[in-house]
């Protein structure tokens, strides 16, 4: 849809926007810190600048609070956009998002179980285990129904999601008291508040492990455009590719959910927006979705933590507030051309 | 011999036997038509040759090579498949769709199509008379145009065997003739062409070789003039017909008389 030099320009533009956004986002917040101070602090910590240009407190705000938060937002956004793109192709369902097969409900259930069991610090682990358990169950049910085809997997996922949500509500209703409501709710909506270097490491690890597998499957994902039989007759080992990609996507989504909760709309809207602009060739669509997802998430999270200062919103509210209208616009645009 | 040789092929769906020891040949350089009523097993046969259906019994050889034992990618470089309907929710231009025909020739590390890929796509589009369509969106085309794009995609695979499942069934008559002319030209260039068909007169006009499937078995095989006779049509299709020879035309014409109630 675009000539090749246009892609190069688009990549360069998006990378520049990402770096500039990160620098600006780190200056925003209760403490006023300039772009120069931000870069100075970062360079100092990389050992490229002998003396820190700012006080220890401001240094800590940049290095311990804002930078990890910005990096976590970028990583979670990229990961969710990538996972959403893959789910939309694999299930041939334009409404698919990373949570389609019950992943987010499973994660919420796992997190709430861990929280109520008194292991609040291990909530991310509970979320991760819960999401994988939900996916495993959904695929198992699909298999028992006679083979894990896209439509069966979706139906089984809906079933698991409903069960897990009911379980979560039951647990909250039964036992949550005082502030744990708030904590659970913020987590269910999705929030990156309190993201630290440990979270950044987790998100990075998830991306490093899963993203290359997905990015190098662009050719196979292209072949899925006309369904399983068409992909198979183009020489794609569809069973192996589908399971490999489902596993990679589930792992990736599990990690993202563990860090940020069930942040909605990023994995649904970003792939559609990018597809509208560059078409469905996955060797272009996948990396572009990651970049756009990262930038989208960074700005929504920055808005979530700074717009209503000193109060902070769960970022899931902002992604939905921004994402839903964008999704509507995309639908209108699609209707015009189809 | 060169071409496709199918022997004793049995395929089941659950307990149901779809193909029951079916065998035939599709010679290289010829157009072979697979005919028979709905449910006779035509699509399943094409799927079996394409490696999409598991064989319970039987062998399928192409140019002497054992087709079911091949790696999928290897098979895709040899034979191309066009389905009856091909729809997508993806946003692809005609050029992108035809470019899918080059997937079997690309590695996962390849970021963009090679010069050879682009040549193959361009000449496939030209062969289908669709060179000016390259940048149009596939979803916006008519059914007939989409079918021609799918055939162009198959041609871009530069296959030695073309398998098509009722490629003309929802095309207008001109588009049907265009498609069949292209397939004839492919056969003349040495390709083995096998297509499932419903229109017996088009089959008689365009096929060198006909294979008649009925309830999973091959019940007749040969030139259209040999195969198409009133007894067979009554037995297989349950239709009374007259076969006439039109002066000046080398192929027979089927005139359908009635569908007698055989219950």
Residue A2 has pLDDT above 60, yes or no: no
A234 to each of B72, B88, B120, how far by Cα in Å?
A: 8, 16, 15
Instruction: Inform me whether the C-beta atom of residue B248 falls under 8 Å from chain A C-beta atoms.
Output: no
In a domain, A47, yes or no: yes
Total number of domains in chain A: 2
In a domain, A289, yes or no: yes
Using CB atoms within 10 Å of the CB of residue A149, give its burial: 0 to 12 exposed, 13 to 18 middle, 19+ buried.
Answer: middle
Residue A121 tokens, joined: 């610090």
Comparing alpha-carbon positions, the chain A residue that sits nearest to B95 is A1
Q: In what order do the strands lie in the sheet with B3-13?
A: B16-27, B3-13, B57-62, B65-66
Instruction: Inform me whether the C-beta atom of residue A147 falls under 8 Å from chain B C-beta atoms.
Output: no
In this prediction, residue A1 has a pLDDT band, given cuts at 50, 70 and 90, of: very low
pLDDT of residue B1: 58
Instruction: Inform me whether the C-beta atom of residue B65 falls under 8 Å from chain A C-beta atoms.
Output: no
> Is B103 in contact with A337 (Cβ distance < 8 A)?
no
In a domain, A57, yes or no: yes
Coil vs helix vs strand at B45: helix
In this prediction, residue A186 has a pLDDT band, given cuts at 50, 70 and 90, of: confident
Q: Collect the ranges in chain B with pLDDT lower than 50.
A: none
For residue A281, the chain B residues in CB contact (below 8 A) are: 92, 96
From the list A141, A261, A135, A103, the residue with the least C-alpha distance to A192 is: A261
- Under DSSP, the state recorded for B2 is -
Q: Chain B, 112-131: which have a CB under 8 Å from a chain A CB?
A: 112
The string over A2-40, giving b where at least 16 C-beta atoms fall within 10 Å of a residue's C-beta and e elsewhere, is eeeeebeebeeebeeebeebbeebbbbbeeebeeebbeb
> Is B91 in contact with A230 (Cβ distance < 8 A)?
no
A42: closest CA of chain B, how far (Å): 34
pLDDT, chain A, mean: 87
pLDDT in tens, A112-162: 888 888 777 787 788 889 988 998 888 888 888 877 677 788 888 889 999
Task: Flag whether the pTM goes above 0.90.
Answer: no
In a domain, A309, yes or no: yes
Distance of CA A184 to the CA centre of its chain: 19
The distance between the two most distant Cα atoms of chain B, rounded to a whole number of Å, is 61
Comparing alpha-carbon positions, the chain A residue that sits nearest to B79 is A233
For residue A276, the chain B residues in CB contact (below 8 A) are: 91
> Is A4 in contact with B112 (Cβ distance < 8 A)?
yes
In a domain, A111, yes or no: no
Contact between B216 and B22 under an 8 Å Cβ cutoff? The reply is yes
Task: Return the number of CB contacts < 8 Å for A and B.
Answer: 91
In a domain, A318, yes or no: yes
Looking from the CA of B174 toward its CB, the CA atoms found within 13 Å total 2
pLDDT in tens, A67-82: 999 999 999 999 999 9
- Considering only CB atoms, A232 lies closest to which of B72, B92, B93, namely B72
Instruction: Inform me whether the C-beta atom of residue B82 falls under 8 Å from chain A C-beta atoms.
Output: no
Instruction: Inform me whether the C-beta atom of residue B135 falls under 8 Å from chain A C-beta atoms.
Output: yes
pLDDT of residue B82: 94
Q: Chain B, 188-217: which have a CB under 8 Å from a chain A CB?
A: none
From the list A192, A159, A203, A214, the residue with the least C-alpha distance to A299 is: A192
> Is A280 in contact with B111 (Cβ distance < 8 A)?
no
Helix then strand then coil, in percent of chain B rounded to 5, is: 35, 30, 35
Comparison of pLDDT for A268 and A53, the residue scoring more: A268
Residue A182 tokens, joined: 């708030």
H or E segment and range at residue B22: strand B16-27
The predicted model gives A293-312 an average pLDDT of 91
Chosen from A234, A244, A273 to mutate, greatest number of chain B CBs within 10 A: A234
Domain region containing A316: 263-338
Using CB atoms within 10 Å of the CB of residue B110, give its burial: 0 to 12 exposed, 13 to 18 middle, 19+ buried.
Answer: middle
From the list B50, B29, B60, B25, the residue with the least C-alpha distance to B189 is: B29
pLDDT in tens, A225-261: 998 889 999 999 988 898 899 889 988 998 898 888 8
> Is A230 in contact with B109 (Cβ distance < 8 A)?
no
> Is B88 in contact with A225 (Cβ distance < 8 A)?
yes
pLDDT in tens, A247-256: 899 889 988 9
> Is A234 in contact with B47 (Cβ distance < 8 A)?
no
For residue A225, the chain B residues in CB contact (below 8 A) are: 88, 90, 92, 97, 100
Question: Please, which residues have CB within 8 angstroms of residue A39's CB and are 6 or more apart in sequence?
Answer: A23
Instruction: Inform me whether the C-beta atom of residue A215 falls under 8 Å from chain B C-beta atoms.
Output: no
pLDDT of residue A171: 86
For residue A226, the chain B residues in CB contact (below 8 A) are: 83, 86-88, 100
In this prediction, residue A176 has a pLDDT band, given cuts at 50, 70 and 90, of: low
> Is B83 in contact with A230 (Cβ distance < 8 A)?
yes
- Considering only CB atoms, B100 lies closest to which of A93, A223, A237, namely A223
> Is B112 in contact with A93 (Cβ distance < 8 A)?
no
A333 to each of A85, A273, A326, A327, how far by Cα in Å?
A: 19, 10, 11, 10
């Amino acid at each position: 849809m675009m000539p090749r030099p246009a892609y190069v320009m688009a990549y360069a533009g998006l990378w520049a926007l990402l770096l500039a956004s990160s620098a600006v986002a780190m200056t925003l917040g209760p403490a006023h810190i300039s772009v120069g101070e931000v870069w100075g602090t970062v360079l100092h910590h990389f050992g490229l600048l002998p003396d820190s240009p700012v006080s220890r407190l401001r240094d800590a705000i940049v290095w311990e609070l804002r930078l990890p938060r910005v990096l976590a937002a970028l990583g979670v956004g990229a990961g969710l956009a990538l996972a959403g793109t893959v789910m939309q192709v694999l299930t041939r369902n334009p409404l698919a998002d990373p949570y389609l097969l019950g992943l987010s409900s499973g994660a919420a259930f796992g997190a709430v179980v861990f929280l109520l069991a008194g292991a609040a610090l291990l909530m991310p682990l509970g979320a991760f285990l819960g999401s994988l358990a939900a996916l495993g169950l959904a695929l198992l049910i699909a298999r028992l129904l006679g083979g894990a085809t896209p439509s069966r997997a979706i139906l089984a996922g809906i079933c698991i999601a409903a069960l897990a949500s009911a379980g979560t509500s039951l647990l909250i209703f039964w036992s949550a008291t005082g502030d744990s409501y708030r904590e659970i709710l913020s987590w269910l909506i999705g929030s990156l508040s309190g993201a630290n270097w440990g979270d950044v490491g987790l998100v990075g690890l998830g991306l490093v492990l899963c993203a290359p597998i997905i990015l190098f499957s662009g050719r196979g994902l292209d072949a899925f455009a006309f369904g399983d039989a068409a992909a198979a007759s183009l020489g794609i080992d569809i069973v192996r590719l589908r399971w490999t990609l489902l596993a990679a996507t589930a792992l990736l989504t599990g990690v993202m959910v563990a860090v940020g909760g069930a942040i909605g709309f990023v994995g649904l809207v970003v792939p559609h927006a990018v597809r509208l602009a560059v078409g469905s060739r996955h060797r272009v669509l996948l990396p572009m979705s990651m970049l756009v997802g990262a930038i989208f998430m960074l700005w929504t999270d920055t808005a979530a933590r700074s717009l209503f200062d000193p109060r902070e919103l769960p970022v899931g509210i902002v992604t939905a507030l921004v994402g839903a209208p964008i999704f509507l616009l995309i639908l209108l645009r699609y209707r015009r051309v189809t | 011999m060169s071409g496709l040789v199918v022997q004793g092929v049995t395929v089941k769906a659950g307990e149901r036997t779809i193909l029951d020891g079916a065998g035939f040949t599709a010679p290289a350089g010829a157009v072979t038509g697979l005919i028979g009523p709905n449910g006779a097993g035509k699509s399943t046969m094409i799927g079996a040759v394409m490696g999409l259906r598991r064989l319970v019994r039987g062998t399928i050889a192409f140019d002497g090579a054992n087709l079911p034992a091949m790696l999928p990618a290897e098979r895709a470089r040899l034979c191309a498949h066009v389905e009856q309907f091909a729809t997508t929710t993806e946003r692809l231009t005609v050029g992108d769709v035809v470019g899918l025909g080059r997937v079997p020739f690309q590695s996962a590390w390849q970021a963009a199509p090679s010069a050879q890929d682009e040549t193959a796509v361009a000449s496939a589009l030209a062969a289908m008379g669709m060179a000016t369509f390259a940048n149009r969106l596939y979803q916006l085309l008519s059914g007939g145009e989409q079918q021609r794009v799918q055939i162009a995609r198959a041609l871009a695979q530069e296959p030695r065997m073309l398998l098509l499942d009722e490629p003309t069934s929802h095309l207008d008559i001109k588009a049907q003739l265009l498609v069949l002319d292209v397939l004839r030209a492919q056969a003349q260039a040495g390709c083995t062409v096998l297509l499932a068909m419903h229109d017996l007169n088009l089959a008689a006009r365009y096929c060198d070789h006909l294979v008649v499937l009925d309830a999973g078995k091959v019940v007749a095989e040969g030139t259209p003039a040999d195969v198409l006779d009133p007894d067979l049509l009554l037995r297989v299709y349950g239709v009374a017909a007259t076969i006439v020879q039109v002066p000046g035309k080398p192929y027979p014409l089927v005139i359908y008389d009635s569908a007698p109630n055989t219950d």
